[in-house]
Amino acid sequence: MIYRSVLLAGVFAAVCLANPETIVFSGTATGSVNGVKFTNQPFAFTYFTDSTAVAPGTFCCTDNITTPAGTQASFRIGSTFTGYLTGIQAVFVNSGEQQMGMWFYDTQDWLDILFPINSYGLNSNFGPVTGTTFIFPDARPLPTTAGPIIFTSVTGATANVTVSTTPNPTPVITSVGTAYGSGIAQNTWIAIRGTNLVPNTTQPQGLSWIGPQDFSGGVLTTDLNGVGVTVNGKPATVSFYCSGTVASSICPADQINALTPIDPTTGPIQVVVKNGGVASAPFTITATTISPTFLQFKNNYVTATHANFSLLGPTTLYPGFSTPAAVGETIVLWAIGFGMPSTPIIPGSETQSGPLPTLPICSINGAGATVTFAGVVSPGLYQLNVVVPNGATNGDNKVICTYGGATTLSTNLISVAR
């Protein structure tokens, strides 16, 4: 089967149990990882999901059960190759075709296992289910953190599904605020931190939404592998999360990055996180009309680029890539939380654009800096084109912008060479 249905609600288990679920494909294969060949090595692909993350489908096939695109998965091949899958892969079961396997969302199957139709169903656990010998004459790559995997042949393929008897723990939110800042406003990227916000099987580098999909109809996802957020009762776009409990994690605590919905409500509002069907207690925060904040490189340097979009910063920031600005140069500052543009935004759309109704007032090293453009250029992302004034000094300079009565942090820096 080439095209799979889009299913958004529990896999291979009774719906709404909200229990962790593990799906393992294993066997012996010949192929390569990032161009390095291997022969007759044992392999295992382990998918981590939840019994509420996927469900029987109605999108195209009522007999098809599918996990969300980009479902988190690790792999091991022999004793040499390990890592995580990075593409828009998922797991499917199709009773009409008597298949179970791995596939790329809306593109193609990668590994199919054929077995009797009565070997599986919507129950808690099943397997191992053993397939046949597979030959892949058109060997397709599977993207991973270790490079593309290509299987040219597979023997002894099996699949096991296990649903934990321990329910997911209740998420607890400890803080919510505009990323790299504080407060909250509509159409703003926020960081939510706490405990049990995300699966404890999350890979160390975190999990990101892997981009627009054909099935989405131009709408951003509000669920990332069973993790969802509501702001003032409305679903937010979840683009990334990471765990603070896994070894070598990039995050000291559980964190979710989400784009707040289009909602002009101000005053106290509530944020709720749902992880694997289990909801947190509401976290109350005061919403404002705007929450202007610059994105940041490390060491308080504003995420900024030259007009050609090369990185702006001291040469030591990202050696070989970043360079300082020049006086009189028009640079690009990247920001969030600047509010609604003068043109309407379609709620949940994967595209956003439009200039702000008025231009922010900016300064660099305390000297007025002319703003030639300010507007939203993609969901929640704002671009400010700013001319570096003559008052800028050699080295680090503070950059501050005021808009709608709110001001960006006073600790933000850009680098200037003169």
d(Cα 387, Cα 371) in Å, to the nearest integer?
6
Complete edge-to-edge strand list for the sheet that includes strand 99-104: 55-56, 64-66, 89-94, 99-104, 108-114
Which percentage of the chain shows pLDDT scores above 70?
A: 83
Tens digit of each residue's pLDDT (9 = 90 or more) over 10-29: 334 434 456 788 889 998 99
Residue 16: CB atoms within 10 A of its CB come to 12
- What torsion, rounded to 10 degrees, do the Cα atoms 189, 280, 46, 121 define? -120
The whole-number average pLDDT for the span 232-247 is: 93
pLDDT of 132 reads 52
pLDDT tier, 58 (very low <50, low <70, confident <90, very high otherwise): very low
Q: How confident is the model at residue 127 (pLDDT cuts 50, 70, 90)?
A: low
- The residues, ordered by sequence, that sit 6+ positions from 311 with a Cβ below 8 Å of its Cβ are 297, 304, 305, 317, 318, 321, 322, 323
Answer for the pair 303, 324: CB distance below 8 angstroms, yes or no. Answer: no
Q: What is the pLDDT of residues 262-305, one digit of tens each?
A: 999 999 999 999 998 899 999 999 999 999 999 999 999 999 99
Query: In this predicted model, what pLDDT tens digit does every residue of 207-218 receive, in sequence order?
Result: 887 654 444 556
Average pLDDT value over all residues in the chain = 85
Cβ-count burial 28-41 (b if 16+ within 10 Å, e if not): bbbbbbeeeebeeb
Which listed CATH number (1.10.357, 2.40.50, 2.60.40, 3.40.190) goes with 293-416? 2.60.40
Residue 19 or residue 358, greater confidence: 358
The stretch 386-407 carries a mean pLDDT of: 97
Question: 112: which 2 tokens?
Answer: 């199919």
Q: How far is CA 152 from the centre of its chain?
A: 31
Buried b (16+ CB within 10 A) or exposed e, 79-109: eebebbbbbbbbbbbbbebbbbbbbbbbeeb
Res 334 pLDDT > 90: yes
Residue 219's pLDDT is what? 72
- Give the least confident one: 101-115, 190-204, 353-367, 387-401: 101-115
For residue 314, what pLDDT is reported? 97
pLDDT at 101: 82
Spell out a b/e string for 357-368, using b for 16 or more CB atoms within 10 Å of the CB, else e.
eebbebbbbeee
Q: Are 235 and 228 in contact (CB under 8 A)?
A: yes
Q: In this predicted model, what pLDDT tens digit does every residue of 338-351 receive, in sequence order? A: 999 999 998 888 88
- The residue that leads in pLDDT, 93 or 239, is 239
Residue 392 has pLDDT above 80, yes or no: yes
Give the pLDDT mean for 381-386.
98
Which residues on neighbouring strands pair with residue 29, listed in sequence order? 41, 154
Model's pTM, two decimal places?
Answer: 0.83
- Residue 118 makes CB contacts below 8 A (sequence gap 6+) with none
Q: How confident is the model at residue 232 (pLDDT cuts 50, 70, 90)?
A: very high
- Burial class of residue 321 in the structure, from the number of CB atoms within 10 Å of its CB (0-12 exposed, 13-18 middle, 19+ buried): exposed
- The CATH classification number of 172-287 equals 2.60.40.10
pLDDT above 90: percentage of residues in the chain: 58
Q: pLDDT of 247-266, one tens digit each?
A: 889 999 999 999 999 999 99
Of residues 140 and 252, the one with the higher pLDDT is: 252
Does the pLDDT value for residue 404 go beyond 90?
yes
Cβ neighbours for 222, distance < 8 A, ≥ 6 positions apart: 228, 229, 235, 236, 237, 238, 348
What pLDDT is stored for residue 376 in this prediction?
96
Q: What is the pLDDT of residues 145-181, one digit of tens each?
A: 999 999 888 888 888 888 887 878 899 999 999 999 9
Report for 66-80, 115-129, 178-192: range of highest mean pLDDT: 178-192
